[in-house]
Amino acid sequence: MKINVKAPAKINLSLDALYKRKDNYHELEMVMTTIDLADRLQLVLLEKDCIKLDVKAHFIPDDKRNLVYQAAALLKERFQIKQGVAISLDKSIPVAAGLAGGSSDAAAALKGLNQLWDLNLSLEELADLGAELGSDIPFCLYGGTALATGRGEIIEPLPMMPNCWIVLAKPSISVSTPGVYRDLKVSEVTHPNTKGMVQAIQEGSFEGICDNIGNVLETVTLVKHPEVKRIKEKMLEFGADTALMSGSGPTVFALVKQYSRAKRVYNGLRGFCEEVYLVRPWQEQR
Ligand code: C5P
Contact 201, 122 (CB under 8 A): no
Cα–ligand 1 centroid distance for 108 (angstroms): 20
- Whether 49 sits among the annotated catalytic residues: the reply is no
Q: 237-263 b/e with 16+ CB inside 10 Å = b?
A: ebbbbbbbbbbbbbbbbbbbeeeebbb
Domain 165-279, architecture per CATH = 2-Layer Sandwich (3.30)
Nearest to 98 by CA among 35, 40, 18, 184: 35
Nearest to 137 by CA among 75, 90, 188: 75
Cα–ligand 1 centroid distance for 67 (angstroms): 14
Atom of ligand 1 nearest to the CA of 151: 21
Q: Is it true that the peptide bond before 250 is cis, omega within 30 degrees of 0?
A: yes
Contact 220, 176 (CB under 8 A): no
Q: Is the CB of 79 under 6 A from ligand 1?
A: no
In CATH, the number for domain 2-157 is: 3.30.230.10
If you ran DSSP here, which 8-state letter would residue 216 be given? T
Contact residues for 83 (Cβ-Cβ < 8 A; gap 6+)? 45, 46, 47, 49, 117
Strand 84-90 with 51-56, pairing:
parallel
CA atoms of 13 and 31, how far apart (whole Å) = 5
Cα–ligand 1 centroid distance for 44 (angstroms): 32
Domain ranges of the chain: 2-157, 165-279
Contact residues for 172 (Cβ-Cβ < 8 A; gap 6+)? 274, 275
Mean pLDDT by 10 residues, the chain (286 residues): 97 98 97 98 97 92 96 98 98 95 98 98 98 98 98 97 97 94 96 98 98 98 97 97 98 98 97 93 75
Burial class (CB in 10 A: 0-12, 13-18, 19+), 226: exposed
| pLDDT value, residue 272 | 84
Atom of ligand 1 nearest to the CA of 178: 12
Here the contacts of 202-207 (C-beta below 8 Å, separation 24 or greater) are 202/158, 202/159, 204/159, 204/162, 205/162, 206/162, 206/164, 206/241, 206/255, 206/257
Q: Is the CB of 178 under 6 A from ligand 1?
A: yes
CA atoms of 124 and 135, how far apart (whole Å) = 14
